[in-house]
Amino acid sequence: KNQVEQSPQSLIILEGKNCTLQCNYTVSPFSNLRWYKQDTGRGPVSLTIMTFSENTKSNGRYTATLDADTKQSSLHITASQLSDSASYICVVSDRGSTLGRLYFGRGTQLTVWP
């Protein structure tokens, strides 16, 4: 069964600190993996996409990594800000259909305290 597991479920950090969120998946065949940020009461917004051949990709203070062999991805947030408080969702797409079926994790709820 294709699954996407995220950890931790929730995380509290102080402003200015770094943190790393984890995503493990069993989706096969793999097409790509996206990290989304969902602010409270809003829809998710894509932060970054990782394809099979990519190991690391940065988007400002966000850095995503992908290990296709172990089927693990991480999202590292540097110098956290209050506005980083949100749910971060890992979404994996397969290559099994034209639609590119999407598998969602349950998200990591990040809270940044001042």
Partner 1 sequence: EADIYQTPRYLVIGTGKKITLECSQTMGHDKMYWYQQDPGMELHLIHYSYGVNSTEKGDLSSESTVSRIRTEHFPLTLESARPSHTSQYLCASSPSHRNTGELFFGEGSRLTVL
Q: Contact residues for partner 1 (CB under 8 A)?
A: 4, 9, 31-32, 34, 41-46, 49, 89, 91, 93, 98-100, 102, 104-107
Sign of CA dihedral 36, 39, 40, 42: negative
Indicate the residue among 22 and 78 with the shorter CB distance to partner 1: 22
Q: Shortest Cβ distance from residue 113 to partner 1 (Å)?
A: 21
Q: What is the DSSP letter of 100?
A: -
State how far Cα 97 lies from the chain centre.
Answer: 23
Task: Compute the chain's Rg from CA coordinates.
Answer: 14
Q: Shortest Cβ distance from residue 82 to partner 1 (Å)?
A: 20
Structure tokens at 99: 């639609």
Structure tokens at 69: 């062999």
Is residue 58 a contact partner of residue 18, using CB atoms and an 8 Å limit? no
Indicate the residue among 16 and 96 with the shorter CB distance to partner 1: 96
Indicate the residue among 107 and 112 with the shorter CB distance to partner 1: 107
Q: Shortest Cβ distance from residue 51 to partner 1 (Å)?
A: 8
Is residue 16 a contact partner of residue 79, using CB atoms and an 8 Å limit? yes
Q: Shortest Cβ distance from residue 75 to partner 1 (Å)?
A: 16
Indicate the residue among 68 and 78 with the shorter CB distance to partner 1: 68
